[in-house]
Structure 1
Amino acid sequence: MEFGSGRPVILLHGISNSGRAWGPQIVPLADAGFRVIVPDHAGHGASGPVNRPWGIQDFTADVVALLAHLDIGNADVVGLSLGGMVALQLALERPELVGRLVVANSFDTTATPGFRSMAEGWAGMFRSEEGPVRRLERTWPMLVNDAFRASGEGRRTYQVWHGIAATAHGPSLAYVSEGIIGFDVTTRLASLKRETLFIAGEKDAMSPPEVSRRMAETVPHARYAELAEAFHISNVDAAEHFNRLLIPFLLD
């Protein structure tokens, strides 16, 4: 979906979610003069299923094809978690397509025993009966902080995301979980030439702040910001602070 007009910015969501996760950013970005482009990754949301392991290269090719379809030669790219890995790969592989880059709560490598174990556990759950719902119910306390979960907005968000999970295609999400294992751009980050903002959640247990801090120290033109009390989906549970970082950076 698209909102607003002006310089294009594409928002890339995390695994098992959809473009709806960017709800807190869409109106502020459109109001700031951006053309906001919000896709659902393959195997997610309103997009079609996948029938094989689907990795970061596949998601990156999807974004390249989407930009070509929209006749966009250059866009700012914002990605969170899985979306952040896709954003990094895109900026390294097709730098001419990327203006400014924002990578939130993400990873420069999934080629670790710990990530493999975690992702294989996700895949098994996604393939089980009502797997996407069960995973959301189990991980919700790790995705957003206690204050947000207890708020009215938090309860509304949970209702929307629970509905998305209830209609999700579990086998596709399992293939994605398996496909993203082995991603590794650690040795390439120093060659990334785009102005980049790395955002971390202070209390993120999935992608701890030191991961984003390390990436920011490696990328030549990078800034690092940490959101107090934020968990893994920091654009949601710390939305106001996230937007105060995001929009000035893109406008700078």
Structure 2
Amino acid sequence: MEIFKLPSGRPLSYEFTYKTEPDRPTILLSNSLCAQYGFWDRVVSVLHDEGFRVILYDHPGHGQSGVSSDLSSTTFDSLADDVYTLLRSPDITQWFAGVNSPSTLTPSLHAWIGVSMGAALGVVFAVRHPGMIRNLLICDTIACSPSNAGEPDAFGPRVAAARTAGTMAKTVDETMERWFGAEWTAANADEATRVRKLMQTTSADGFETCIAALKSDTFDIRPLVGRLAECVEHVKLVVGERDADLPVKMAQMRDQVQKGFDAAGKNEKVELVIIPKAGHVPFIDGYEDYIRAILPFLKH
């Protein structure tokens, strides 16, 4: 683990694997709420075997990343700024430089793989920084805040419950149940224990500040997904079969992405893959099928 200091002084924990091997294409992995970047360990191992290098990082208040003094200030734009600042820092650019000057080089990513809020963030980042991402893999994400969707706020009560309890323990337990279910947890005790420990590194402040982004009226990627054809070369969507109504909603998102590629005159088929029996983080409970879904896409 490395720590990068953002301009505000806030720490951001990250890891850059095989950074001294620039011939390896670089993939950035972006997490869901309550997930620390160690969630991706088994995926990272496969990506290494396939010849890639990986950048992983933690959202505010997750892992060793710090939070702003104003917990309500976090938005998807500010989260995108955090990642852009990291990628443009000498800590990263020196390993992309080659014959270029590290002070002027803007690294390009072979792929951004995001799950949940990390997927929505990938869309925001791609549109804000066209050309920095070649391949965008969008997994298990809502498209907007509850207020923009005209739905009840499911997030605020979770923050209130965590604050009342004074600990994240019950929140982690409830999230484990919602994401994986008792049957999978019992049948995969070692992996469930590993994941639970990583989730427990999320602070209550981190939970609240990232939920502020998810609740914000500024969170709405519906107008952005149709613009992805202008910003990236390829897009693929993946969703767990058991992830509530997201298979339906992500099918609608896929259609909007496809319309954008069609309008741009690009001969591109945007695919949606549903991972059988998997939930909100399908690279955990649908690992084998998830790997089979993403590897051909990453060979673009």
TM-score of the pair, normalised by structure 2: 0.77
After superposition, residues 1-252 of structure 1 pair within 5 angstroms as 1-4=15-18, 5=21, 6-51=24-69, 52-53=71-72, 54-69=74-89, 70-71=92-93, 73-75=107-109, 76-110=111-145, 111-114=148-151, 117-145=153-181, 147-151=183-187, 154-181=188-215, 182=217, 183-193=219-229, 194=232, 195-205=234-244, 208-219=246-257, 220=261, 221=268, 222-252=270-300
Report the CA distance between 1:168 and its aligned residue: 2.9
Would the aligned equivalents of 2:135 and 2:235 in 1 still touch at CA under 8 Å?
Answer: yes
> What CA distance in whole angstroms lies between the structure 2 residues aligned with 1:218 and 1:97?
21
Give the CA deviation at 1:95. Answer: 1.6
Larger-Rg structure: 2
SS at 1:47's partner residue?
A: coil
Q: Distance in 2 between matches of 1:201 and 1:146?
A: 16
Q: CA RMSD in A?
A: 1.8
Quick one: distance in 2 between partners of 1:192 and 1:26? 26
Give, in angstroms, the shift of residue 148 of structure 1.
3.1
Percent of aligned pairs sharing the same letter? 19
Letter paired with 1:98: I
Q: What's the offset of the Cα at 1:179?
A: 2.4
Query: Is the 2:123–2:224 Cα contact (8 Å) retained in structure 1?
Result: no
**SS, match of residue 128 in structure 1:** helix
**Distance in structure 2 (CA, Å) of the matches to 1:23 and 1:227:** 19
Task: After TM superposition, give the deviation of residue 19 of structure 1 in Å.
Answer: 0.4
Shift of 1:192: 0.9
- Matched residues in 1 for 2:194 and 2:76: separation? 26
Cα distance change, pair 87–129 in 1 and its aligned pair in 2 (3 A) = same
- 1:130 CA drift (Å): 4.5
1:37–1:247 Cα change, 3 Å: same
1:208 partner amino acid = L
Higher fraction of helix: 1
User: What is the total number of aligned residue pairs between the two structures?
Assistant: 248
> Amino acid of the residue matched to residue 203 of structure 1?
R
Deviation digits for residues 103-136 of structure 1, max 9, x if unmatched? 100122122243x611112221332334422111
Partners of 1:31 and 1:202 lie apart in 2 by 27
The offset of 1:167, in angstroms, is 4.0
Contact 2:116 2:139 in 1 (8 A): yes
Distance in 2 (CA, whole Å) between partners of 1:50 and 1:125 is: 21
Q: In 1, distance between residues paired with 2:141 and 2:201?
A: 25
SS of residue in 1 equivalent to 2:54:
strand
